[in-house]
Amino acid sequence: MTSTPFQASRGTRDIWGEEILLWQALEQRARDILGRANYQEIRTPIFEVTELFSRGIGEGTDIVNKEMYTFTDRGNRSLTLRPEGTAGVVRSLIEHKRLSQGVVRCWYLGPMFRYERPQAGRQRQFHQLGVELFGSADPRADVEVIALGLEFLQPLALPSLTLELNSVGDPEDRQRYQAALVEYLTPYVQDLDPDSQVRLTKNPLRILDSKHPTTQAILATAPQLPQYLSKDAHAHFEQVQAGLTALGWSYVLNPRLVRGLDYYTRTAFEITTTDLGAQAAVAGGGRYDRLVQQLGGPDTPAVGWAIGLERLVALWQKQGVSFTVAPDITVVAVGEATANLSLQISHMLRQHGLRVEMDVSQSSLSKQIKRADRLGSKACVILGETEVATKQIPVKWLATGVQELVPFPSGFADPQPWQYKCHHPPVA
């Protein structure tokens, strides 16, 4: 009986081969840049109780209404695969009472899950790198967080990136604005696209996000959110802009930028690109001063962002960024008598910090050497029955073709000549 081979589920993908090196480089970069700003990594569970997300992200949002992977476990609890990282981090810090100790800075990286319609740059399992700064209402915290995101993205020479900035104000400001927006839009209700018609009663601010041309035309003369900010929120926003300018970062003000999650207050931003088609947002974030309290914690202002790593990797690939790794040394061997010696030599060379592959293909020596060359190895250690007897081991430097005889074990004991020759292959 033949069976159809399994395939990765729709909206998920495997990451392997050369692409994994891009991911590892991104992870290293996150550790370096965020570590230097004294952020600590946090790893929270992949699933949480459903209510954390419905209360945290907002009952009226697309994520909660349409996109969550929710299931009932055997104990009859409703659980959800995390659609984003912020709510879980907040839950963790409240649970461990870490918010009474002043400012907390943390970052995370991991898979998130949203039941969206998959397309280029949009998956059902995707990865976010996120940072969150808790315990400060200082506009400098917003600037630090935004600048870290830009610093992380920028040297990858991504000229297509734009920082879009807005202030969505405090909830009271938003309420006043929402009333004005609804009043403005109501006479046009028949002309709005169907989604926006529904949103007019459910979540009017999200209408600002509509890509529909008629809706956009109607919005062109609509009241704008920044005009409804309180004095404090306005001053805060001015200081955020001044801080970004002081650091030399440019931005575009986008008064229609409202985020797809309900928890934001004041600063909201996205880092967008023109290089990825419809999925323009590489990163999104902002301030969320009420969320901690809303989830049962102490009154704690906070600000953060998340970068979609698949989108960033796609941008890198588009620019031709790639990495390769190759063994320094490949140990090739034929004949049963060479078995232990090949194990010993591979082990000794690895102890010297070299990347060593032991060929276990059992093919002919010439095939093994060809393969080592194809992998990009710098040298082959070549073992046959004679070498086991004489303890004089041929080492072939593949770039120059130079072959030398190295006595075993003395010639393998000292790391230095090996390390040197891997960088400066001997010439005849």
Q: Which residues bind ligand HAM (CB under 6 A)?
A: 84-86, 114, 116, 122-123, 126, 128, 130, 132, 260-261, 281-286, 288, 304-306, 308, 310-311
Q: Which amino acid is at 101?
A: Q
CA angle 258–262–266, rounded 5-degree value: 60
Query: Hey, is 382 helix, strand or coil?
Result: strand
First to last CA, the chain: 59
Q: How far is the CB of 310 from ligand HAM (least distance, A)?
A: 5
Q: What is the CA radius of gyration of the chain?
A: 28
Q: How far is the CB of 284 from ligand HAM (least distance, A)?
A: 3
Taking the least distance from each CB to ligand HAM, the nearer of 272 and 377 is 272
Q: How far is the CB of 98 from ligand HAM (least distance, A)?
A: 17
Taking the least distance from each CB to ligand HAM, the nearer of 41 and 183 is 41
Collect all residues with Cβ–Cβ distance below 8 Å to 142 and sequence separation of at least 6: 236, 240, 243, 266, 267, 287, 303
Taking the least distance from each CB to ligand HAM, the nearer of 43 and 347 is 43
Q: How far is the CB of 121 from ligand HAM (least distance, A)?
A: 6
Taking the least distance from each CB to ligand HAM, the nearer of 306 and 334 is 306
Collect all residues with Cβ–Cβ distance below 8 Å to 149 and sequence separation of at least 6: 131, 271, 283, 285, 305, 307
Strands 161-167, 252-253: pairing kind: parallel
Q: How far is the CB of 306 from ligand HAM (least distance, A)?
A: 4
Q: How far is the CB of 216 from ligand HAM (least distance, A)?
A: 21
Taking the least distance from each CB to ligand HAM, the nearer of 91 and 311 is 311
How far apart, in whole angstroms, are the C-alpha atoms of residue 263 and residue 410? 66
Taking the least distance from each CB to ligand HAM, the nearer of 81 and 218 is 81
Taking the least distance from each CB to ligand HAM, the nearer of 128 and 300 is 128
How far apart, in whole angstroms, are the C-alpha atoms of residue 331 and residue 348? 11
Q: How far is the CB of 406 from ligand HAM (least distance, A)?
A: 51
* Phi/psi of residue 249, nearest 5 degrees: -95, 135
The residue with its CB nearest to ligand HAM is 308
Query: Hey, is 27 helix, strand or coil?
Result: helix
How far apart, in whole angstroms, are the C-alpha atoms of residue 381 and residue 395? 5
Taking the least distance from each CB to ligand HAM, the nearer of 51 and 183 is 51
Q: How far is the CB of 91 from ligand HAM (least distance, A)?
A: 13
Taking the least distance from each CB to ligand HAM, the nearer of 287 and 396 is 287
Q: How far is the CB of 116 from ligand HAM (least distance, A)?
A: 5
How far apart, in whole angstroms, are the C-alpha atoms of residue 217 and residue 192? 10
Per DSSP (E only), the strands in 73-226 are: 78-81, 104-113, 125-134, 161-167
Per DSSP (E only), the strands in 144-300 are: 161-167, 252-253, 267-273, 281-287
